[in-house]
Structure 1
């Protein structure tokens, strides 16, 4: 007789997988493979993310949004995914600041050019039908920025979006640069950018590289957050997606993200150290 997983067993599985990811991140230790059975759905993956957020034990100050590749949209039923931005992994940049990218050796790390919203108001609790225009009404400011994608699992992207979701959405940090004061008065086509790794251009794109533009990504985060019982709050940041692509980076390499007419953000990658000296 085929065994059917009970809700209690499913929760225990989620916690077990989450603990292995959290322990590996804290120890800055690569994982040789996915630490459990692969998630079969986005809801199962988000249950593991929720368990990992609880284990991490740090305030969530925002969310990263990433695109789900076309081949996965029909099987999974969504075109984007989200992951938490923790207090210690959110950096507000001053002019001239150098970014530092902690990379787990043997894991995954990449730099992504991002357009980042800061919310002025709480989302309506339980509301999950935000569109881009409605989402814009909640925005305090739009910024240039960078996401450091990162995981102890080197194959995280190869294993699919549900796996990405289960490990914090493959997020290791968000860096918020200068505000774009006149963003509401400019067409998204005017927002373009490029990324260089060690002086070689690895990608060019802009706000319209994101399906529907950055506000569509924000609307997704508002709606998915509501369905998870995690409505977005005033002051939270929402990093809207990789505007020039996903650019792998290794310890010792330097990255430069140039936002045309808005400035550059630059930094270097280094080997991540355990967060706990006893790890």
Structure 2
């Protein structure tokens, strides 16, 4: 049975509006493929506002990436606390993000790695606040992905302009909650080296949205795993040689 994209998108949008969280998508709206996922994401994004960034990741360095468009209302460039009432579930992930300084519009010839590198302006430490429009964190992998990859908000830390020498898989990362270290290790991102993720977005993932544009922020997957938290948390992520980013959900 073909997936009814409109039914899926409206279910997710209604959950956002009403805060009546879903057990699952309606049967006719359940995605059966990554193409269904992308179509549902696009339909939801069209209602949520301009696409201002992306989240992208992969299960392994060899796995096909997957992404989700992020809208401007969920990007935060400072440490102003969030109201916990804005979220359903609250997860915290420390990530590395990149801000683009040039457009990468859709084209027939695939973008090379060097072209993607040339389009990057700055690197940033980031914290993603993970959320869900489901009662639990996505009843299945495709529904989870269709729900904006369980995105809640993205907090973007200070810009690093001299970033080409930085190798994210070799970066020590420390995540603290309320002053207590909860994760401290090196690397930690299942996708490995992140530039291939941006290259995939430029060549495939973002094509239906008009490609990648200057000013967009792209966060490249968790370096710490997702840690579920309760309201009252103050989180700080530190990447050695990069910097730190903080947020709070109160």
Give the TM-score normalised by structure 2: 0.85
Q: Distance in 1 between matches of 2:112 and 2:138?
A: 28
Q: Identify the residue that residue 84 of structure 1 maps to in structure 2.
A: 69
Match of 2:214?
Answer: 234
Contact 2:97 2:219 in 1 (8 A): yes
Q: Does 1:100 align with 2:76?
A: no
Provide the C-alpha distance between the structure 2 equivalents of 1:34 and 1:153, rounded to a whole number of angstroms.
7
Contact (CA 8 Å) 2:66, 2:205: kept in 1 or not? Answer: no
Q: Distance in 2 between matches of 1:205 and 1:163?
A: 31
Summarize deviations over 1:79-131 as a string: whole Å, max 9, x none: 322112111111122xxx344364666x4321111111111111142347335
Match of residue 168, structure 1, among 148, 165, 175: 148
Following the alignment from structure 2 to structure 1, what is the Cα–Cα distance between the partners of residues 104 and 146?
Answer: 24
Gaps of 5+ in 1: 271-279
Find 2:44's aligned residue among 34, 45, 52: 52
Matched-pair contact (CA < 8 Å) for 1:118–1:141: yes
Which shows bigger deviation, 258-267 or 232-241? 258-267
Report the number of matched residues: 248
Larger Rg: 1
Aligned pairs (5 A) from 1:181-192: 181-188=161-168, 190-192=170-172
Structure 2 equivalent of residue 109 of structure 1: 90
Map 1:1-279; keep pairs closer than 5 Å. Answer: 5=2, 10=3, 13-27=4-18, 29-37=19-27, 38-56=30-48, 58-68=49-59, 79-93=64-78, 97-100=79-82, 102=84, 107-127=88-108, 129-157=110-138, 159-160=140-141, 162-188=142-168, 190-205=170-185, 209-270=189-250
- Tell me the secondary structure at the aligned position of residue 43 of structure 1: helix
* Structure 2 unaligned blocks of 5 or more: none
On the 8 A contact 2:95/2:220 being kept in 1, the answer is yes
TM-score, with structure 1 as normaliser: 0.77
- Is the 8 Å Cα contact of residues 142 and 181 (structure 1) preserved in structure 2? yes
| Residues 184-228 of structure 1: per-residue CA shift (max 9 Å, x gap) | 134445532121234443333455635341212211221233543
Q: Distance in 1 between matches of 2:229 and 2:85?
A: 8
Q: Which runs of 4+ in 1 moved over 6 A?
A: none
Cα distance, 1:236 vs structure 2: 1.0
Cα distance in structure 2, aligned partners of 1:103 and 1:131 = 43
